[in-house]
Amino acid sequence: MPDLSVAEVELEIPFHDVDSYRVVWHGNYPKYFEIARCRLLDQLHINYADMEAMGYFFPVIEMDLKYLRPIVFGQRVKVSAKLEEWRNKLVITYRIRDIDSGETLTKGSTSQVAVSPQGVIQYDAPDALVASVERVLGAR
């Protein structure tokens, strides 16, 4: 049975994402994380539209990135996103690997919290979000 707390996407690095040295510009890595995060949230039935329907926004409040090896134009990579925490805030870890070698190129994490439309931060995740995640993943 697949681990539904993990989602993966494969990308081929386009020319418009690289600098003059044909290395991915550092500001594009969060975009790659976001692509994998959206796949994961869809898989968990808590995508951004679902969150908004619950009455909350989930902004990223913290991001950590570790660049291990450069990623270059035309390189094929696999980006994985793994849900680590969901009861208080959403914590997702990421890994970008070279498809051919399997080598880890980048790793990182993000944290997101529930915020009401009035801008009030919730210190516990909404019950509907926790229930949805646990229904998909099974109680852990």
Give the span between the Cα atoms of 107 and 2, in whole angstroms. 22
Residue 125 confidence (pLDDT): 93
For each of the domains in the chain, give its residue range(s) and CATH number, in order of start: 11-137 (3.10.129.10)
- Run of H or E residues at 30: helix 29-43
Is residue 140 pLDDT above 70, yes or no? no
What's the average model confidence in pLDDT over 88-103? Answer: 97
| Interval 35-55: pLDDT, tens | 999 999 999 999 999 999 999
Is residue 1 pLDDT above 80, yes or no? no
**pTM (two decimals):** 0.94
High-pLDDT (> 90) share of the chain, %: 94
Cβ atoms 78, 101 nearer than 8 A:
no
Q: How would residue 2 be classed by pLDDT, with cut points 50, 70 and 90?
A: confident
What are the contacts of 21-27 at 24+ separation with CB within 8 A?
A: 22/72, 22/73, 23/70, 23/71, 23/72, 23/73, 24/70, 24/71, 24/72, 26/67
- What count of other Cβ atoms lies within 10 Å of the Cβ of residue 13? 19
Residue 86 confidence (pLDDT): 95
